[in-house]
Structure 1
């Protein structure tokens, strides 16, 4: 583990004086770990929460207003689309023969010129390393 001293960085700032010379100012900036209280430290094996995950979603994926197959459809992607995932939920279990999961992702999908905000998509259609990715916030 690094000590707070290892996290310190030096910054050199030069700015012109009125006389045309330069003043060199050296500043020591402590790393974030030196400023964080010990109570906020997380164990090494605990993944840190991520704000969002930017990925893609497969073509012909159904987008729904909730994490269940019974929830109304918001649309269907026409091609592989851009998906900004904000969180995941446990919903309807689904098995398409290749993937089987009850993870549903919530976020915004951009499919061509159409944006679907605050929708859900089943995890098997979303291109992530695993369902759900480490650190992604649980939303219900």
Structure 2
């Protein structure tokens, strides 16, 4: 199922680029539906609605998705704030840089994705081996 999900993400990014000439970066899409609503607000709202409704439709069809959230709500909030700061300074998110930018061989996106990954590895190492927490 993960492979199918990856294919659908890639297909949606490709179709968005081919039809609208836009990058499927979720941060920019979400930011584009917040007030004041820009000229691209309608397709951004539709894209975001599809990203939310597709998993709901899959679960209503009887497919069970198992997941766990091994951290507290406060840790999720802090992580979200840190990610938001990174998105701001990195001029985009992992979907924009990692999926779309790297597919276009953008040097900036390749550098951003390498940075995301390096800090992800560093974070897991520090949390598991310095603080001794299991993630």
TM-score (norm 1): 0.18
Higher relative contact order (CA 8 A, sep 6+): 2
More helix by share: 2
**Structure richer in strand, relative to its length:** 1
Larger Rg: 1
